[in-house]
Structure 1
Amino acid sequence: MCCPSATFAVWSSAWLHGAAASDDVLDALLSWGEAHDVVAADPAAADAFELPLAFNRAATPVQLLVALRAQSATNLQLVLPVPGDVRGLGGGGPFTESALRSGEAAVLPELGFGVVPQAIAEGLMRWTVFSLTNRTQPEYRGLAEAEHGLTDAIRASAGALQTLDVASDRRGVRAELSARLRSAPDVQWPAGTPGRSLRVLQRAEEITAILAIAQTDDPGGALSASATVRRAEALRPLSDAVRDARCAAVNEAVRVFADQADRTP
């Protein structure tokens, strides 16, 4: 599943490099809402992408795709910021604040812009284009490194949670996990998406469901306030590793589509 920004980054990259049609991009976005519109947050973004400013009549995703091609966009990077970790957002300002509220964004580091999705009504997703305060290249994290980090975090968190006796005897946990995974949006990826990226995204999705169960109000034996704090501390490295793995998987897919296009005669 991952998130709307991941869908946008991978499918837009596939389209920009000739591996998908524009209709494919639009169809993929439907997983996140029946309707999508696009606005600019500031005059610089409005001018560069020929988009209306917020609170005016919004543009369509097609106009955003056309603007990306006109701007020769090649490198859309997924960022999943949380308080205390705003890597890749290019400093403070409105973009950073919006990305933190949303928990995600797609960054165009070479162009100095970022795009943040937000569900503003039932079935309606709004994409807002921001100018970056500073053009900062997101920190590169190789997919193999991120996958290994995820494995290490799983082992460390499992040991800590076992010590805390979190959800060790929770009834129906397998059924709850299956239900959470089934309820996730059915997100499709372009043909040519690296298999390893897909495997890492699937693994991250499964771990996210496990984390959600571990963080519910019925945490097995960890009922005291101190145990709840220790549980959160035990889970934090795993949550961070999941974010890193998702970003690395998506950004690797973007890189592969760009490389394939460069090798095409």
Structure 2
Amino acid sequence: MVWTSAWLHGAAAADDVLDASQEWGELHEVVVADQGTATALDLPTRDEPPAALAMLLAALRQYGASAGRIVLPVPGDVRGLDGKSEFAAEAIRVGDAAVFAGLGLVPDRVADGVVRWTVYDLPVTPPQAPEPIGAADRELSEAMRAAAGTLASLDVARDRPNVRAEIAERVASTGAWPAAMPQRSLRVLQRANELAAILELAAEDEPGGAVSASAALQRADALRPLSDAVRAARRAAVQEAVSVLTDHADRH
């Protein structure tokens, strides 16, 4: 989303976007959910051989797409989705989507190293008010403090002696950002990525250091608000980055 929005406004080269996409998967393929939109964008439908990511970029520019936003929905928290639709259902299933005016993009990992982007036609809606990044950052800190005591008592990841190295490795794999990326967005994304890595390790733990069903429920209750805060922080940081990058590009 950040790279694509930067490219649409001349703040990044197409090759930079394609290079950055390699952090997500070695192969990116693109299909469209309906025939009408496929024809309008000159992209294949799901029953045809998929297109390359470069063709999606070209289609977005031809379509007149501008700065977009990310959607990180989960059951019970579908902020950014409007109503019930195939796009909304797929975005919730995958837990990730990008929205441009009139278009929704869902990235699905269909095989090891393969990401398939499905494009959906969406009704054009008024721009949503941005989530304040400062409030999202504070929410992240508050969720960390609230969860810390419970997680310590449950001894999450107690059997992972190299847990700090594992977290650092996962955070390092999140990739690079455009040169003009605002520092506040980077800082919030870094914190969110570190916490996301902790959540992933806790989920992989067997069963997260919990020794009873009640302790497992405690752990789930402690992690849930932290997961919500991570998603909110990522949305707000990306929104601010897109806004800053597009404003910067428009001034030049």
TM-score over 0.5 for the alignment?
yes
Q: Deviations over 1:18-61 (max 9, x none)?
A: 11111111111111222111110113431332211112022221
Inter-CA distance 137–233: structure 2 relative to 1 (3 Å threshold): farther
Residue 167, structure 1, aligned to residue 159, structure 2:
no
Work out which of the residue numbers 186, 211, 216 in structure 2 matches 1:228.
Answer: 216
Write the distance in 2 (CA, Å) between the matches of 1:248 and 1:219: 29
Residue of structure 1 in register with 2:244 after alignment: 256
Q: Deviations over 1:141-184 (max 9, x none)?
A: 1111110110111111113434xx111792544x1232243145
% identical equivalent positions: 50
Inter-CA distance 257–15: structure 2 relative to 1 (3 Å threshold): same
Inter-CA distance 17–233: structure 2 relative to 1 (3 Å threshold): same
Give the partner amino acid of 2:31.
V
Write the distance in 1 (CA, Å) between the matches of 2:36 and 2:125: 14
Work out which of the residue numbers 20, 23, 27 in structure 1 matches 2:15.
Answer: 23
Write the distance in 1 (CA, Å) between the matches of 2:78 and 2:156: 34
Residue of structure 2 in register with 1:130 after alignment: 120
Q: Is the 8 Å Cα contact of residues 81 and 87 (structure 1) preserved in structure 2?
A: yes
Residue of structure 2 in register with 1:182 after alignment: 169
Q: For structure 1, which runs of at least 5 residues remain unmatched after alignment?
A: 1-8
Write the distance in 2 (CA, Å) between the matches of 1:227 and 1:121: 35
Residue of structure 2 in register with 1:38 after alignment: 30
Q: Deviations over 1:66-119 (max 9, x none)?
A: 1211222112101110001111122211101111121100011xx221101112
Inter-CA distance 169–199: structure 2 relative to 1 (3 Å threshold): closer
Q: For structure 2, which runs of at least 5 residues remain unmatched after alignment?
A: none
Q: Is the 8 Å Cα contact of residues 167 and 194 (structure 2) preserved in structure 1?
A: no
* 3-state SS in 2 of match to 1:92: coil
Residue of structure 1 in register with 2:208 after alignment: 219
1:194 positional shift: 0.8
Residue of structure 1 in register with 2:225 after alignment: 237
Q: Is the 8 Å Cα contact of residues 11 and 190 (structure 1) preserved in structure 2?
A: yes
Residue of structure 2 in register with 1:54 after alignment: 46
Length-normalised TM-score, structure 1:
0.87
Residue 86, structure 1, aligned to residue 74, structure 2:
no
Q: How many aligned residue pairs are there?
A: 250
When structure 1 is superposed on structure 2, of 130-139 and 204-213 the one drifting more is 130-139
